[in-house]
A and B are shown apart, each in its own frame.
Chain A
């Protein structure tokens, strides 16, 4: 099953190579098939995860390079199942939204499907080598995707950030982060002495013979910063809003919806799982840094006037909650963090898809130029209000459940940071309501008289899928939380008992 999910987009990309450049209809059909197969697979995984058993399930193992301990090892636990589902949803709806791409269609879907493969690979890999392999593979297709099909960020008719600048900045930031993480991974590999890249095997080896606490304190920040760049951790976030703003809609959806989650997922999966003493030492620092994410990102979002920049900064602000949830090191907060990754992914994907829809018709996303679009496009406006409500954490949406869990779970550990976090919700409400008012409400503008709503079921499909997913998880979070908890609780229990052990180790040095 995991192999099907991973290989379907790749096979789709290979099938595209066989087509002529002008067979647009077939290119799109293949892309839809190549992303709907993983979506079905992800739904299967989500319904067939055995909560009682926990741990990694549906494993696939093929020995790859025995001399170095590399194995092609796939598997999912509750956390990665949620993220696979998220990615499958975003990838599928992204293809539908991309129907508006009219030039160099084949190349577009090629890069898009490679991006999809890379991200699935990261979520499914249980081998450090392949984890990194897919991680880098996911970053590179962003370069042409944003550079060719993206748009400059304009303000008052002048180019504020060109798409070339945005895409180069994004690629270099993420690659620098990745190589920092790579140094950390290689150092970890060598210092465990187990000569294996296999994650479960490393977990066992480290459980039997944990690394020296001082070494863990050196290794942890390498991995935290390396993967934190994509999370995006303040102050390394500046590539992200610009990148979101310059990217074409579907790529913004994937980028904000899924790629940023690669960072927080990687932090959970690698440094927190493998380096408990490092996590003990460094995560309180992260808890304070991510308050900066929340508050600073929120205020910057408030002062933007380009819609995509607003959502971009709001994403980096909301990812602060995810990081806060990780840093709390309580099962409830971690459950919340993972659920928020899922919820925020869907919400941002929805927001970027909507902006893409009316940008294509109005040719502007500059807030002062917009207004009254609810007259022309009631369906889009309804979805927009839903996205704004979800983003502000209103009950009924998955975001509410997730944020509430983070606040409740973290209260005992970091009350000050949690209070700041709650304040962030107010900031979100301010700019989200302003966006909704400025875009959809007010008198109908004559300039937009030609615009039309998404009428056919097919046009509405991507938005409906995302809205329904958000509401289902928001109203009935129990099965999803059980699944996440089955993996999050053991992880926290693994990290926390280390606390008394860390102290004597420190005294020795």
Chain B
């Protein structure tokens, strides 16, 4: 048995147990748990690095999971996200009640879920990975037990999430009925060699897409986003916004370029239409927001629109563009959320008005936020610009110029509401002037994220080479 293929997953399982036991630590030692969690992330990263030579061989594990370059690349993305979320939790932890260890444990189970998704070769693994991820997030979203908003967020996420899981399972069942099996090879072969693809198989595919559309917050499955983003603890929101969206987009990428590739002509226009709806819903909805977390929620819907746009091309260039977009999105969104967490106590809340004059209280936090938001808006020389450019380029190549036009106009709409935040931070006078202290761990993480935003934006070649190796 090639256990080496499962090494990172097994390492994560080990650390889930470690964190569970660590929760028994006395309350005074709890704040140190973040270092233990970071150690676990580091351990996973080491295992990934050790396993790296195996990626190129693309070996599979009982045709359920496979270790490929693609899965390895995305596991790196997820690990990096989890590391930043740990730092965020460290900054945020005084708000968290007891069971801090369990919170970190849930982070590791969520990470395990994304790892399973990255390696999946079977529809059952899709379901398993997705549920592992989503269940962890249900609990994490409702972690602030004393706050009604957090409970509401967890509840809404649970109910809508369960419905979408229902869609997913029903879709998988229909596909099983069509293909006679659940492994990707079987389903793909069934689509390739079927003389006529029955309507039930199309329905199965649409239901699976709906289930994943929930994860990436695509219209019309995004009604949960604003409330959950507003109510859930901010580190969880960051995990939802980056980890969960990345997992959904990655799963879509695998399914669309894999098992559903034979019926591309069917889903390409469908995704293009969804992309337009998602872009407009997210970006127009964001215009009217007064709470920064809600605003970022709507803006994350807008970003889902660009991801769908890239996916709708069905081309290799589109797949690479989506991956690059996610990489840029990862750095930018995490930077923005970390600033939100670092500033929220000092500025007194999450309302946009609370950010008035932030640049005069902490030039550093305001500058990072400025760069993060501009990167999300797609302004050079920042990472988000290259992501958007590649997505638009792939869409032009696919010939859907009207879609490119919608995407381009949305760049300007998005820039407007991001600049509204910048305006408050830089142009408006602060309500109070005492400087905001930024702890060293947060500061270093922010430096790393900003460096990432700049490097991914300016020096694209190594990342593009890295990404293009996924085929």
Residues of A in contact with B (beta carbons under 8 Å apart): 21, 64-68, 70, 107, 129, 132-134, 136-137, 140, 143-144, 147-148, 164, 168, 171-172, 175-176, 179-180, 182-183, 186-187, 189-190
**Is B306 close to A, CB under 8 A?**
no
A63 to chain B, nearest CB (A): 8
Q: In the complex, which residues of chain B have a beta carbon less than 8 angstroms from the beta carbon of A21?
A: 363
Q: Are A64 and B461 in contact (CB under 8 A)?
A: yes
B412 to chain A, nearest CB (A): 4
13 additional A-B pairs beyond A68-B393, A134-B380, beta carbons within 8 Å, are: A64-B460, A65-B460, A137-B381, A147-B423, A147-B426, A148-B427, A168-B423, A171-B419, A180-B408, A182-B408, A183-B404, A186-B389, A186-B404
List, sorted by A's number, 18 A–B pairs whose CB atoms are closer than 8 Å. A65-B464, A66-B461, A67-B464, A132-B380, A133-B380, A133-B385, A136-B385, A137-B379, A137-B381, A140-B379, A147-B427, A148-B426, A148-B427, A164-B423, A183-B404, A186-B396, A187-B401, A189-B393
Instruction: Classify the secondary structure of B's interface with A.
Output: helix
- What is the bound-complex CA distance between A189 and B397, given in angstroms? 9
Q: Which residue of B lies closest to A17 (CB)?
A: B367
* Total A-B contacts with CB atoms under 8 angstroms apart: 81
B423 to chain A, nearest CB (A): 6
Q: Are B411 and A179 in contact (CB under 8 A)?
A: yes
Q: Which residue of A lies closest to B359 (CB)?
A: A107
Q: Are A176 and B374 in contact (CB under 8 A)?
A: no
**A143 with B419: in contact, given A172-B412, A179-B411 (CB under 8 Å)?**
yes
Q: Are A137 and B427 in contact (CB under 8 A)?
A: no
Q: Are A136 and B393 in contact (CB under 8 A)?
A: no
**Is B416 close to A, CB under 8 A?**
yes
A159 to chain B, nearest CB (A): 15
Q: In the complex, which residues of chain A have a beta carbon less than 8 angstroms from the beta carbon of B374?
A: 140
Q: Are A187 and B396 in contact (CB under 8 A)?
A: yes
Interface bin, chain B? 20 to 34
- What is the bound-complex CA distance between A480 and B464, given in angstroms? 43
Q: In the complex, which residues of chain A have a beta carbon less than 8 angstroms from the beta carbon of B419?
A: 143, 168, 171
B310 to chain A, nearest CB (A): 14
Interface string of B427-471 (1 = CB under 8 A from A): 100000000000000000000000000000000110011001000
B368 to chain A, nearest CB (A): 13
Cross-chain contact of B379 among A70, A136, A144, A190 (Cβ < 8 A) = A136
- What is the bound-complex CA distance between A147 and B424, given in angstroms? 10
Q: In the complex, which residues of chain B have a beta carbon less than 8 angstroms from the beta carbon of A129?
A: 389
**A144 with B411: in contact, given A168-B416, A187-B401 (CB under 8 Å)?**
no
Q: In the complex, which residues of chain A have a beta carbon less than 8 angstroms from the beta carbon of B409?
A: 176, 179
Cross-chain contact of B405 among A64, A171, A172, A183 (Cβ < 8 A) = A183
Most-contacted residue by chain B among A65, A66, A70, A172 (CB, 10 A): A65
Q: Are A171 and B427 in contact (CB under 8 A)?
A: no
Interface string of B359-397 (1 = CB under 8 A from A): 100010000000000100001110001000100110011
Most-contacted residue by chain B among A134, A179, A187, A189 (CB, 10 A): A179
Q: In the complex, which residues of chain B have a beta carbon less than 8 angstroms from the beta carbon of A187?
A: 396, 401, 404
- What is the bound-complex CA distance between A182 and B379, given in angstroms? 12
Q: Are A179 and B412 in contact (CB under 8 A)?
A: yes
Q: Which residue of A lies closest to B397 (CB)?
A: A190
**A186 with B393: in contact, given A133-B380, A136-B385, A172-B415 (CB under 8 Å)?**
yes
Cross-chain contact of A67 among B396, B401, B468 (Cβ < 8 A) = B468
- What is the bound-complex CA distance between A137 and B408, given in angstroms? 17
Q: Which residue of A lies closest to B408 (CB)?
A: A179
Q: Are B412 and A175 in contact (CB under 8 A)?
A: yes
B454 to chain A, nearest CB (A): 12
Q: Are B426 and A144 in contact (CB under 8 A)?
A: yes
**Is B274 close to A, CB under 8 A?**
no
**Is B296 close to A, CB under 8 A?**
no
Q: In the complex, which residues of chain B have a beta carbon less than 8 angstroms from the beta carbon of A136?
A: 379-380, 385
**Is B16 close to A, CB under 8 A?**
no
**Is B422 close to A, CB under 8 A?**
yes
Q: Which residue of B lies closest to A134 (CB)?
A: B380
**A171 with B415: in contact, given A64-B461, A189-B393 (CB under 8 Å)?**
yes
Most-contacted residue by chain A among B363, B374, B415, B416 (CB, 10 A): B415
- What is the bound-complex CA distance between A180 and B408, given in angstroms? 7
- What is the bound-complex CA distance between A65 and B385, given in angstroms? 15
Most-contacted residue by chain B among A134, A136, A175 (CB, 10 A): A175
A396 to chain B, nearest CB (A): 42
**A176 with B393: in contact, given A64-B461, A143-B419, A148-B427 (CB under 8 Å)?**
no
Q: Which residue of A lies closest to B374 (CB)?
A: A140
- What is the bound-complex CA distance between A66 and B385, given in angstroms? 18
B167 to chain A, nearest CB (A): 35
Q: In the complex, which residues of chain B have a beta carbon less than 8 angstroms from the beta carbon of A182?
A: 389, 392, 408
Q: Are A190 and B422 in contact (CB under 8 A)?
A: no
- What is the bound-complex CA distance between A137 and B377, given in angstroms? 12
Q: In the complex, which residues of chain B have a beta carbon less than 8 angstroms from the beta carbon of A168?
A: 416, 419, 423
- What is the bound-complex CA distance between A183 and B380, given in angstroms? 16
Most-contacted residue by chain B among A64, A68, A164 (CB, 10 A): A68
Q: Which residue of A lies closest to B425 (CB)?
A: A144
- What is the bound-complex CA distance between A137 and B458, given in angstroms? 12
A225 to chain B, nearest CB (A): 13
Most-contacted residue by chain A among B408, B411, B426 (CB, 10 A): B408
- What is the bound-complex CA distance between A144 and B374, given in angstroms? 13
A310 to chain B, nearest CB (A): 26
Q: In the complex, which residues of chain B have a beta carbon less than 8 angstroms from the beta carbon of A67?
A: 464-465, 468
Q: In the complex, which residues of chain B have a beta carbon less than 8 angstroms from the beta carbon of A133?
A: 380-381, 385
Q: Are B427 and A164 in contact (CB under 8 A)?
A: yes
Q: In the complex, which residues of chain A have a beta carbon less than 8 angstroms from the beta carbon of B426?
A: 144, 147-148
- What is the bound-complex CA distance between A147 and B419, given in angstroms? 11
Q: Are B392 and A183 in contact (CB under 8 A)?
A: yes
A325 to chain B, nearest CB (A): 30
- What is the bound-complex CA distance between A21 and B389, given in angstroms? 36
B219 to chain A, nearest CB (A): 22
- What is the bound-complex CA distance between A190 and B358, given in angstroms? 43
Q: Are A144 and B404 in contact (CB under 8 A)?
A: no
